Chains A and B, each alone.
Chain A
Amino acid sequence: MTEIEFLNWVRGPGFQIAVVIFIAGIIIRFAEILLLGRKTNLAEAKGSEMSGGLRTIVTRSFPDRGTFQRSTFTIVAGYIFHIGLFVTIFLFAPHILMFKDVIGFSWPSLPTPVVDAVAVVTIIALLAVLAHRMSNTVLKFLTNTEDLLVWLVTILPLITGYIAFHRIGMTAPSLLAIHILSVELLLVILPFTKLMHAFTFVLSRWYNGAISGYRGVES
């Protein structure tokens, strides 16, 4: 297989396979969660599930003061890499072209040098998060293989993308193909690991808020 054949494969059939697994995985997992249902709560409602749930979806994006003081590093680094991922994935011009091809519409991009800088910051944040996790006894104890796997598949597209953009070390078609392949790996793995929180966070936050809302307390 020549490197152009490799590139054509990851842009074609490879991408197709990844998208099928990604979409099917997400839908099946959502269906399973939703169809399982919840036990009827026999206690008398003291407030609204809906308002508590909706409120929590938003408020959980901001740490309360106590949590922030206890886990400053985790929260700051977490914010940085989450925003960084958003910027690099959704605001880089070539990526927007890809989205446009699939979903039919587009949005403005950020200047390339900005995205480039954000990518570097994001990579550093992800490295720092891992270093922190491995140097903290408790966090290290709690770390399992899945945690390392999801870290790896998250940072790989960033690193391969950075290298492909700056064209370091290999010929360009291979660099681009490897980058796209790393994204396909992420797509395939996402629905079946805790990376699924990218979608389920809405449900779980709503659920947390709804419990409190039902009891008439603030979550």
Chain B
Amino acid sequence: MTNNKDKTLLDNSGVDKTGVDKTLGEVLRSQGVSRRSFLKFCAATASMMAMSPAMIPKIAHALESARRPSVIWLSFQECTGCTESLTRAHTATIESLIFDFISLDYHHTLQAAAGHAAEEAREAAMKENDGKYLLVVDGSIPMDNPGYSTIAGISNYDMLMETAKGAAAIIAVGTCATYGGIPHADPNPTGAVSVGDLIKDKPIINVPGCPPIPVVITGVLMHFLTFGTIPELDHIGRPKVFYGQSIHDRCYRRPFYDKGLFAETFDDEGAKKGWCLYKLGCKGPTTYNACATTKWNDGTSWPIEAGHPCLGCSEPDFWDGGGFYKSLSMPTENITQTAIYTVAGAAAAGVALGAMNKNKKSSAVAAHNKTTIDDLEK
């Protein structure tokens, strides 16, 4: 992480407006990015987003001439992990330059201004770019008591609703903003809800993950910059290009799963041989995310490659799946205890029913009239 990058982000916070009217192409050139590496980046992006190579010049052209979109970033009940993921991604790459390029008019964590000055910057950006700015949200919104989370005395709910009104589109970043995330975990003490739970009349792109993969965040931004539209989404609002395939279907340990070769503990022979982590609780089979293909930390590795099962962080309620180290086939409740109580209760009920049946039987026997010779002669 370079300090330089932090500075650039801060520069975008409304304090220093240098480069506001430059196109992305100009910004990149002024940062010393060669045309060759820019085209390489466009090619990589096209392939990552499953576009044909014929799209590369179009992407390059659209991006080069794109003007800085105004972005307002709101952080609610969150841990700042999503912002960390993005800003501490890796050394200055074109992705991070693109991130720098957007006019981040308001971001609690990154902006220099605070309190009312910061709120003024937000309001100014909203007014100036009404209907055009991009709203990015991380964190969930507490609905039980607005006092659980406020910014400059404004409740998260009020700030979200007010800021969403003039937004062109909303990007919900991280599992908290997209599905409620950890604050929403059972028993959800703050009544946390997601952005999508509250806003129904704006296009919302869900970019879940705890945190999301940085290139996925920038990829979605790129798509918006390039096409001015939102990418194709799946049934829970995630861009299909990044969340179209499950971890399990792209996992390089899959051949071991298919053969039934599992690591039983974190340090056994199976673990050393790189066998499947299903028995250690891997949620890869039910998780849709791009980790297995894009990897983390500039493509260095990813959780399963590092030997840890997938937690399912890009899915709703990943916190409530019975425990990260419980396999998917295991029940999430304590069934042993349930079974013991049931045996005791049912045994008593069985004895009672048995006694009733016995009674019925003996009264039936008692009530039975034997046919006599006289009866037959009637």
Residues of A within 8 A of B (CB): 2, 4-5, 7-8, 11-13, 15-16, 19-20, 23-32, 34-37, 93-95, 97-98, 101-104, 109-113, 115, 167, 171-173, 176
Residue of B nearest to A24 (CB): B346
Using A2-B316, A11-B330 as known contacts, list a sample of 16 further A-B pairs with CB atoms less than 8 Å apart, ordered by residue number in A: A4-B316, A8-B320, A11-B328, A12-B333, A16-B338, A23-B346, A26-B346, A27-B346, A27-B350, A29-B350, A31-B346, A31-B349, A97-B279, A97-B329, A102-B331, A172-B246
A104–B317 contact, CB under 8 A? no
B317 in contact with A4 (CB, 8 Å)? yes
Would A2 and B349 be within 8 Å (CB), given that A7-B286, A24-B342, A36-B357 are in contact?
no
A181 and B248 CA atoms in complex are apart in Å by 22
Across the interface, B285 reaches (CB within 8 A) one of A36, A102, A109, A172, namely: A172
Q: How far is the CA of A46 from the CA of B316 in the complex (A)?
A: 69
Which of A8, A36, A97, A112 has a CB less than 8 Å from the CB of B259?
A: A112
A-B contact pairs, 14 of them (CB 8 A): A2-B236, A2-B316, A5-B316, A11-B330, A12-B331, A15-B332, A15-B335, A23-B343, A23-B346, A24-B349, A27-B346, A112-B259, A167-B249, A173-B286
Contact between chains at A16 and B351 (CB < 8 Å): no
Interface residue from A16, A25, A36 paired with B333 (Cβ < 8 Å): A16
Identify the closest chain B residue to A111 (Cβ): B260
Q: Is the CB of B332 within 8 A of A12?
A: yes
B278 within 8 A of A: yes
Q: A32-B353, A35-B357, A93-B279 are in contact. Are A11 and B332 (CB under 8 A)?
A: yes
Mask, B150-186, CB within 8 Å of A = 1, is: 0000000000000000000000000000010000000
Contacting residues, chain B, for A2 (C-beta < 8 A): 179, 236, 316-317
Closest chain B residue to A174 by CB distance?
Answer: B286
How far apart are B272's CB and chain A's nearest CB, in angstroms? 19
Chain B residue numbers with a CB within 8 Å of A98 are 329-331
Nearest-CB residue, chain B, relative to A25: B346
**Closest Cβ–Cβ distance, residue B99 to chain A (whole Å):** 30
Q: Which residues of B contact A24 (CB under 8 A)?
A: 342, 345-346, 349
Q: B interface vs A, CB < 8 Å?
A: 179, 235-236, 246, 248-249, 257-260, 262, 278-279, 285-286, 288, 312, 315-318, 320-322, 326-333, 335-336, 338-339, 342-343, 345-347, 349-351, 353-355, 357-358, 361
A23 lies within 8 A of B342 (CB): yes
Q: What CA separation (Å) do A94 and B338 show in the bound complex?
A: 21
Interface centre among B260, B327, B329, B354 (most CB of A within 10 A): B329
B317 and A28 contacting across the interface, CB-CB below 8 Å: no
Residues of B close to A23: CB separation below 8 A: 339, 342-343, 346
Contact of A11 among B179, B321, B346 (CB under 8 A): B321
- Asked if A97 and B330 sit within 8 Å, CB to CB, the answer is yes
Residues of B with C-beta under 8 A to A16: 331, 333, 335, 338
| Bound-state Cα–Cα, A179 to B89, Å | 39
The majority secondary structure among interface residues of chain A is: helix
Secondary structure of the B side of the interface? Answer: helix
Complexed CA–CA distance, A37 and B359 (Å): 12
Closest chain B residue to A180, Cβ basis: B329
Q: Are A173 and B317 in contact (CB under 8 A)?
A: no
Which residue on A lies nearest to B335, using beta carbons? A102
B315 contact from A4, A25, A28, A101, Cβ within 8 A: A4
A172 touches B248 (CB 8 A): yes
User: Separation in Å of the A111 CB from the closest CB of chain B?
Assistant: 5
Residue in B closest to A36 when the chains form the complex, CB atoms: B357
Residue of B nearest to A35 (CB): B354
Residues of A within 8 A of B345 (CB): 24
What's the Cα separation between A25 and B350 when bound, in Å? 9
Q: How far is the CA of A42 from the CA of B187 in the complex (A)?
A: 65
Contacts of A171 in B (CB 8 A): 235, 288
**CB distance B333 to A15 under 8 Å?**
yes
Q: Determine how close the nearest CB of chain B comes to the CB of A163; give it in whole angstroms.
A: 13
* Shortest distance between the CB of A173 and any CB in chain B (Å): 4
Closest B residue by C-beta to A167: B249
| Chain B neighbourhood of A167, CB < 8 A | 246, 248-249
Smallest CB-CB separation from A27: which chain B residue?
Answer: B346
Residues of A within 8 A of B355 (CB): 35
A102 touches B329 (CB 8 A): no
| Chain B residue with Cβ nearest A26 | B346
The smallest C-beta distance from B320 to any residue of chain A, in angstroms, reads: 5
Measured in the bound complex, the distance between the Cα atoms of B345 and A26 in whole Å is: 12
Q: Which residue of A lies closest to B328 (CB)?
A: A176
| Closest residue on chain A to residue B236 by CB atoms | A2
Q: Do B350 and A11 touch across chains, with their CB atoms under 8 A apart? A: no
